[in-house]
Amino acid sequence: MNLDSFTEKLNTEKIKYRKNEIMKSHTTFKIGGKADVFVMPENKNELKILLNSAKENDVPFFIIGKGSNLLVSDNGIEGAVISLSKFDKISLSENTIKCGAGVKLSSLCSFALKNSLAGLEFAYGIPGSVGGALFMNAGAYGGEISQVVSGAYCIDFDGNEVFLKREDMNLSYRNSVFKNSNLIISEVVFELETSNSSEIKAKMQEYIEKRKAKQPLEYPSAGSTFKRPVGNFAGTLIEKNGLKGELSGGAMVSDKHAGFIINYDNATANDVLNLMDKVQKTVLSNDNVLLEPEVIFVGRR
């Protein structure tokens, strides 16, 4: 890895970056050590330059949106973290919304409401970016991104632009083709339906009130810690095993919703990992169900 040569290229191209950026500032968990280099490209051209320079200099990189589903190592992230926060444009053509990957999901929902377009109500209140939501096929209350997405513009690791239709994305429960490919989502296209704005707003309000009542939104977290096991619910199994309120350092199984591990008191990534491990082993031992993490761990071990 030749990090100096990589940053020299960024300087030459006038691409802004920061060294030793503390990642806890960029995740909803508020946990994480330093990234060697943190870059926010302004457009596709800058992203292509970054990818090319990373390849030439053997610099590993990680793409981040709003950091809502991430647990970043206390030891930080080697190489470059590329944030797509500046990919934040939204446009409308009839019932079709074209949206930058870095747009907040809540902002997309509000844009749809403003234009009396229905279909995204379930997503209101889900933290994170549009790109991250497609990457994970995010969902709630019976809705999923797979139900409303029609296509996505991507850039592969070699800088080539690619367009995928929904049928090419292999969308399933919290999964997509993007998880195991060299494709970076840059823009997402949604096909929605015209509806009554007051009805859309009422649904959005209903869902956000449910979240406030049932989820520990007052504490930093990465959302649901584990995927829903077939025929059951992670939170139900965790609560059944008496793990609500369980602590590991500053991490805690929420006493409001056992499906969430929260940053209760300046938790470290190791605190969270240890608690996740205990939960998995307990549920596996008592219920013969292996809970699969929904949270993605990234960084140095």
Residues acting as catalytic residues: 174, 224, 294
Beta strands in the chain (DSSP E): 17-22, 34-39, 61-64, 70-72, 77-83, 90-93, 96-100, 117-118, 139-140, 143-144, 149-156, 161-165, 183-191, 193-194, 247-248, 251-253, 261-263, 296-298
Number of H helices, E strands in the chain: 7, 18
Distance in angstroms (rounded) separating the CA atoms of residues 46 and 114: 32
3-class DSSP assignment, residue 286: helix
HEC string for 110-127 = HHHHHCCEECCHHHCCCC
Contact yes or no for 31/137 (Cβ under 8 A): no
